[in-house]
Structure 1
Amino acid sequence: MVPVRLTGPRLAIREFHHTPEDVEALYAVFGDPEATRYLPFEARDREDCADQIEQYLEEAQQEERTVYRLAVTRLADAEDPADAVPIGNAALGLGDRRSASLGYALRRDVWGLGYAGEITELLCGLAFGALGVHRLEARVDVDNAASVRVLARAGFRPEGRNRHDVHRPGRRHDSYRYALLAEEWPGPAGR
């Protein structure tokens, strides 16, 4: 495995560690019903979060890696970003024909600080750069106006609405589908 390490102005994105700190950090996001409100799964318990990190590390070890589920940390939280406690997660799932899907989730206390935009820029850089992706897409719940704004600012274009594509107990959710092509992304310097 070649570990992923991305650095932006305020954030770093790294591989998860199977440590109590990283498990607790993932639980702070995935265990919060409000933070998972727009995600395609319900809030999880600590044990599920520990299992998730184990799965993330197994996926990272694959000979042909197709999934990148990564920890998001703040640069100001530690001298070495590898030691910082995550504030969220970022994900890229590689598809066929040089395509990928992008996602992120943050702890509720860091919402509204512009971190989702920085995560999106860093993931675009990884996807369009080192991974050679041509098309990057994102799914966003129709009620998640903040993520719609993040994607639009990053240059993603709306492509449609998926009706009832996520089922959670008691309710089916629609989502918007957004995409960005490599030639449409000017990179972080172009923004």
Structure 2
Amino acid sequence: MVPVRLTGPRLAIREYHHTPEDVDALHALFGDPEVTRYLPFGPRDRETCADQIELYLEEAMAEPRDTYRLAVCRRTEAEDPADAVPVAHAALTLGPYRSARLGYVLAREVWGRGYAGEIAGLLCDLAFGPLGLHRLAARVDVDNEASARVLTRLGFRQEGRVRHDQYKDGLWSDSYRYSLLADEWPGPTA
């Protein structure tokens, strides 16, 4: 495995560690009903989050690697991002024809600080740079206006609305599909 380490102005993206700190951080995200509101699953318990990190580490070892589920930490001068506690989760899932799906989830206490845009930008840099992808796609719940704004600012284009594509808690929801092509990406964000 070649570990992923991406660095932006305020954030660093790294592989997860199977440590109590990373498990607690993932549980802070995936255990919060407000954070998981637009995700395809409801709040998860700590044990499930520990199992998720184990899966993420197994996926990172796959050859060839097609799934990147990564920890996002704030950068500070006082600590190495490799040891920092994650405040968000980033994901790239590779598909056919040099494409991938992009995703991000942020802890509630860091909402509204522009971190989602920095995370998505760093993932675009990885996808269109070292991974050599041609197309990125993202799914956004129609009620998640903040995420739609993030993608639009980065140059993603809305391709359409998919009706009743997610069923959660007894309700169907629609989503918007967004995409960005390699030749539309202006280049590294850092």
Structure 2 residue 47 is the aligned partner of structure 1 residue 71? no
1:98 aligned partner, one-letter code: R
| Matched residue, 1:146 | 146
Partner Cα separation in structure 2 for residue 164 and residue 78 of structure 1:
47
Superposed structure 1 runs of 4+ greater than 6 Å apart: none
Deviation at 1:169, TM superposition (A): 1.5
SS at structure 2 position matched to 1:158: strand
SS in 2 for 1:133: coil
Tell me the matched-pair count: 190
* 2:162 is the counterpart of 1:123: no
1:160 aligned residue: 160
> Structure 1 residues 33 and 73, CA, compared in 2 at 3 Å: closer, same or farther?
same
Residue 112 of structure 2 is matched in structure 1 by 112
Aligned residue number for residue 88 of structure 1: 88
| TM-score between the two structures when normalised by the length of structure 2 | 0.98
Using the alignment, how far apart are the partners of 2:167 and 2:71 within structure 1? 26
CA distance in 1, matches of 2:167, 2:56: 24
For the residue of structure 1 that corresponds to 2:68, the secondary structure is: strand
User: Once the 2 structures are TM-superposed, how far is the Cα of residue 188 of structure 1 from its aligned partner?
Assistant: 3.6
Q: CA deviation at 1:78?
A: 4.8
* RMSD (CA atoms): 1.2
Q: Using the alignment, how far apart are the partners of 1:148 and 1:156 within structure 2?
A: 9
The answer as to whether partners of 1:77 and 1:84 remain within 8 angstroms in 2 is no
CA distance in 2, matches of 1:136, 1:17: 26
The correspondence of residues 33-48 of structure 1 with structure 2, limited to 5 A, is 33-48=33-48
Comparing 72-81 with 163-172, greater Cα deviation is found at 72-81
1: CA distance, partners of 2:176 / 2:111? 21
Deviates more, 1:92-101 or 1:72-81: 72-81
Summarize deviations over 1:24-45 as a string: whole Å, max 9, x none. Answer: 0000000000000011111100
* Partner in structure 1 of residue 180 of structure 2: 180
Q: Percent identity?
A: 73
